[in-house]
Structures are given as structure tokens and as C-alpha cells.
Amino acid sequence: MKKYKVKKGQPYPLGAYVLNGGVNFSIVNSSDEDCSVILYKKGVEQKVRIDIDRSNRIGNISCIFVEDLQPGEYEYNFRIGDKVFVDPYAKRIMGNEKWRGAEFKQPFLRGGFYSREFDWQGAQQPHIPYNESIMYCLHVRGFTKHRSSGVKHRGTFEGIIEKIPYLKELGVNSLELMPAYEFEECEWASGAELALSQTIEYQVQHIDEELSADKEPQRARRLNYWGFKEAYYFAPKTSYSSDANPCVEFKKMVRELHKNGIEVIMQFYFPDNIKPGYILDIIKHWVIEYQIDGVHLKGGKVPVTLIATEPILANAKIMCEHFSLDEIYAGAEIPAYKNLGYYRDEFMYDMRKYLKGDSDMLKSFQYHMRNISASCGVVNYITNYYGFTLNDLVSYDRKHNEENGENNSDGNDYNYSWNCGVEGPSRKKAINQLRKRQMKNALCFLFTAQGTPLIMSGDEFGNSKNGNNNSYCQDNETGWVDWRGLSKNADIYEFAKLLIKFRQAHGILHLDTSLSMLDRYGCGYPDLSYHGEEAWKAQLDSYNRHIGIMYCGMDGEGKEGDYIYIAYNMHWETHRFALPSLADYEWVHVFDTNETPIDVESDKGSSYADIPPRSIAVLAGRKLPKTQPKPRAKTCAIGRKNKKSDSK
């Protein structure tokens, strides 16, 4: 391997940065030990070590510029003292190109060189406000890996591109990706974990000799399918790419989604040991280099305020569980672009309780249906990657995680689910009808609430994980989306599409400011009101499980009234809802979740609707035709003429 000319480098950017004439290497070294760059010639075992002289150190950063280094021919690692390690700022990771699954072999990882050149073809970021967003959460591999997905490049970024027509048909405009940066999916379990892991079908119970020499005994392998662990955060996951360059394929995916008006949000999980400055560098890299539209931050010590106040991220959605708004915004400052978003489980658990008919839930239901914030978006979901799928939520009372190999001790024990009478699959028609009605009810909660709705991939057509509520290690048909549900549960899918279209067509259902319960539009009625068996009077007693909500807005041109009445009945008995009278309008049925369409009836000038058990009905105000003025009779005109003549 040839000798390279080395000169003083630049401390930033950190990692390896390709420039004209060579590569700049910058290493964080907080110790007093020497450090080096290790270069590996592609295709051969030769390597060369380039030491970094102490004179090339600024603070805790050692940096050099290596002239005439052809990045396409080499890979690299760093060394500090006796430790050789992968550059934590590496923009590409080599050696983990194949998803390992059952092949638990220790990979030899190296950093790869990254080219920023890419043709974005003029694609622009959509910048969709929270109140206009329809979010869809997916696992890149699990979304299209199942043989029923119908895509050519299953389990990859390219597979998502192939599914863009489907996403547009469904009506979503924002994708949230579970960890799509480089992580090692193969892990070691030891001690007590070993005894719990023996039932995992794909685990190898004996360690290969070449790996066990320097490992402690009594260890077995396990799979981290989700990727919530410390990772190589700057690089897209290579095994999620259908070709040799994941950086290009990820950018292509973002570009094509943007062309179709769909945002890309990335989840990032940071363990407590990850430093704040490093986290900020990661987020900025993905927003700048890959033009992602936002991040969902997870971890106990994420520097949320630091990220939220970074100027270059002002147009990127930043979502997490909590924000210190008094630190982020001075006084009553309202951001020009609302980029922060609350992402909490409150909606999920309260709505699940109401769905299954728990008592004393109406006040919580009222709150979540109208909850939005002036400073932050509010993301609502009734399922997520953790916990039951929507289908399993109405099919299982208990988790069934035995396949995870942890004696069913993992996963959440408190799912607030109801199996509708039978645990797991059932052949009883009445139970299956009730389950489908409950799934439709849950989707109604989600898409008629004011916050930003988020749906987990596959829930729109009843995907099931057979009761597993913690499929973190299930790289198989349990963890993958089974697309056969599109035909099996076509009615659920069509209903989800209907809900999305209805929400988008009625601005009163997705406002950017809070509902006032006043006549804000000058149409004679408050923008939000509550009703029950009597109009204008909600029955909020703890034993009640039914409520009517009326919205009064304006049409798209701000002229005509937009009246919507939604009757929610999660009781196991039928309830009659009295419908408020509207001047010049009548209530008409739009859709409902019941097997038989619900009728609007009238009695003595009043309208009402009988809502069956565990059902929701959506009604809309239809303008009555204008009464035509009666034509004047000719005799009247003649009469007037005669009177006039008589007076002469």
C-alpha cells in the first residue's frame, strides 16, 4: 500500500470528510493516548496505519488531511491507544450489508466514505402543518418483507418507493420510520437471560468456536429486530438497501416521497450515555444531508431544548414526550412554524378504555377529542409498534409473547384490550362482526379527534401479530405486515380511507387553534357543543358511555355552514340521541360503524337517531332547498287595477 502525504487537518466536520485532493479525518480523543487512522484497501487484506501527530490536535480533536486518497478504493477505522473502533461519525458503515437474522456471526465493521452528490430533481419538502398531517408509522424491513407485499425489493427503502401508490390511495402524507440508521441486529444474552431464550426458534444455542474463545461461557444469541439500541447514527442501515449504496437509496426514497407530497419522519433512540452535542450533530446531519422532515426523539436524556432551539431545525418537526416550553419560547411567544409536537400515550390508553366500555371515561374522551396546543402539535394514536395491533386489541385480553423466549414476561401487561368474548381467532360470526365494529370505532376516535392522527402500518386492514405485544425480536411473519389482510378485511381498509377523506374535507375536524365553544364563525351555533338523549345536554355521569358532539364551521370558501354531528355510543345498549335543530338545514346520515345503516328519524318536529350498542354514527347538515316565492295571481293584479280605476 502506498505512502500518503499528510498535512494538518480541520477539526470540523468530525469523522471523514471527502474534499478535493483528499480526505480530512477528525477524531474526538479525550484521552492522552495516541490516535491513528486505519485504512483498509478494498478487496485485499492489506491495511495501513496513519498516526496523527500531537501537533495536529485542537482541544480534544485530532485531525489530519490525507492527500490523494481515493475514497472509492478504501474503508477506514480509528485507533486510540490499543483500541480500534468504528468512527461514530461514519456516514457509511461497511460489513453489515446483509441482514443477519439467523446468521449470528460477528461482523467486521468499517467506516465507508460518503459522497454528498445527489440529484434531488427539484423535489421540495412538503412542510405539512400538524393539523393537516395524516401520519403512518412503519418498520422499513417489516413493511414489505412479507411475500404478500407484492414488491420487487422486499424489506428495503426501495420497497417503500414501490408502495407510494398505495400510501397515496390510503391518504397518508407523513411516514414515521422506526430506526433506519445502522445498528447491529445480533446481540448477546447472558446469565438469567440465557434460560429465557431457549424457546426462540431461530436462536443458535451453541456459539461458534471462533467467537467463543474470548467470550464468557453461558451466552446465547438474540435478535434486536426493531433497533432501539446504541447505533451508528449517521449512516442509513445498509441491509435496508436493495443495492450497494444505502445513502443514495435512502435519498431516492425521500425524494420520491416528497414528489408525492409525503413527509419522512425518523425515529431516533438514544441511551443515557449518548452526549447532547453528538445527538444534535446527528439530527442536523439527517435534516441537512437527507432532507428528512422531522424526528421522533426517544430516550431518557435527550437534549430536547437544545434541539428545539437550533435555528437550522426550525422547519423540521421535532416530536417527543415532553418539552420545556418556558425554556424554548420566551414568554407567550408563538412560533411562526409550529414544529414541536407532543407524542404521548395518553390518548392511546384513555381511548382504549372508552372503546371497551369502561366507566367514567366521558370527560377524558371529551378532552382528547378537542386537545390541541397553540405551541405544539399533538400526535394521537390508538396503537403503535409497542403493544397490540388494532386487530389484536379487540381479539385478545392478554399478551401472548411466548415466542419471544422470555416466558411471556416481556411486554406491557396493561393493554386495556377486550377480546369481544373469545381469546384469539374465532369462527363465530357475531364475535367477528363485533371485532370489526370495534376496529372501526377505534379508527373513528382517531380520525375525528383534533390532534394529528397516526396509524400503525397494517392496522388499516386488520394486521395481526397473534397476540404478541412486544415483537422486538420477531423477524418473521409475526413481525411483518401481512398484506393478505387487504382482501380479507377490505371493509376495514375502505372505512379507513373514508375516514381520512372525510377528515380532510372538513376543516372543523382538524383546526390549528383550539375550539372555543363559542359562535366563532357567526353561523348561529358554537363551534363545539355536546349532546345526549336531549339536545344541548351531555350526560357525563360516570355510568354513561354515550355522547354526541356537534361541530359548526364554515365551508372551504367561508360562506356556507359546515355542520357535523357525531354520536358515540360505547355502551352495550342502544341509546337515542336528540339532534339539535338547524335553521335551513337538515341532518343526513353520512356513515356509521354499525353493520346496518343508522337512520335519522323525526317526531313532532324533532330529529333523533337510535345508535345501536358499541356504534358510532356521523351525520352532516344538508342545506334545505330555498322555498320558491309563490307567483302572483292575475286576478290580484286585475283587482288592484280595478280598485285604482274605481277611485278615479
How far, in Å, CA of 399 to CA of 396, rounded? 7
**What angle do the packed helices 490-505 and 429-448 form, to 10 degrees?**
20
- Between 143 and 72, the more confident residue is 143
Q: Would the pLDDT of 195 be above 80?
A: no
Which residues are CB-contacts of 214 (< 8 A; sequence separation ≥ 6)? none
Question: How many CB atoms neighbour CB 81 within 10 A?
Answer: 12
What pLDDT score does 558 carry? 59
Q: Closest Cα to residue 69, out of 91, 88, 50? A: 50
Q: Closest Cα to residue 351, out of 267, 453, 424? A: 453
Question: How many CB atoms neighbour CB 189 within 10 A?
Answer: 19
Q: What percent of the chain has pLDDT over 90?
A: 80
Residue 543 one-letter amino acid = Y
Name the DSSP letter for residue 632. Answer: P
Residue 402 one-letter amino acid = E
Structural domains present in the chain: 6-112 (2.60.40.10), 134-182+238-507 (3.20.20.80), 515-623 (2.60.40.1180)
Helix (H) / strand (E) element for 579: namely: strand 575-579
Q: Evaluate whether 456 touches 387 at the Cβ level (below 8 Å).
A: no
Q: Would the pLDDT of 339 be above 70?
A: yes
How far, in Å, CA of 201 to CA of 404, rounded? 9
Name the DSSP letter for residue 287. Answer: H
Beta bridge partners, 607, equal 579, 602
Q: Evaluate whether 158 touches 249 at the Cβ level (below 8 Å).
A: yes
- Between 537 and 212, the more confident residue is 537
Q: Would the pLDDT of 129 be above 70?
A: yes
DSSP string over 149-164: G--SSTTSHHHHHHTH
- Region at 440 (left for phi over 0; alpha for psi -120 to 50; beta for the rest): alpha
pLDDT band at 213 (very low <50, low <70, confident <90, very high): very low
Q: Would the pLDDT of 647 be above 60?
A: no
49 vs 21, 37, 46, CA distance in Å? 20, 6, 10
Listed range (63-72, 151-160, 208-217) with the worst mean pLDDT:
208-217
Q: Would the pLDDT of 473 be above 90?
A: yes
Alpha helices in 509-579 (DSSP H): none
Mean pLDDT along residues 382-391: 97
Q: Would the pLDDT of 374 be above 90?
A: no
Q: Share the mean pLDDT of the chain.
A: 90
482 vs 144, 485, 491, 526, CA distance in Å? 9, 6, 16, 45
Beta bridge partners, 577, equal 609
Cα torsion through 304, 310, 315, 318, rounded to 10: -10
Task: Extract long-range pairs of 271-276: CB within 8 Å, 24+ residues apart.
Answer: 271/229, 271/230, 271/299, 272/299, 272/300, 272/301, 273/230, 274/230, 274/299, 274/301, 276/301, 276/303, 276/306
pLDDT, one tens digit per residue, over 233-258 is 999 999 999 988 999 999 999 999 99
List strand residue ranges (DSSP E) for 82-231, in order.
83-85, 92-94, 110-112, 135-138, 174-177, 181-182, 186-190, 219-223
pLDDT, one tens digit per residue, over 291-315 is 999 999 999 999 999 999 999 999 9
Q: What share of the chain is helix, strand, coil (3-state, %, to 5)?
A: 25, 25, 50
Q: What is the pTM of this model?
A: 0.91
What HEC string does 389-418 produce?
A: CHHHHCCCCCCCCHHHCCCCCCCCCCCCCC
Listed range (484-488, 496-500, 554-558) with the worst mean pLDDT:
554-558
What pLDDT score does 559 carry? 65
What pLDDT score does 104 carry? 66
Tell me the pairing of strands 47-52 and 6-8.
unpaired
Q: Closest Cα to residue 445, out of 529, 361, 521, 373? A: 361
How far, in Å, CA of 403 to CA of 258, rounded? 38
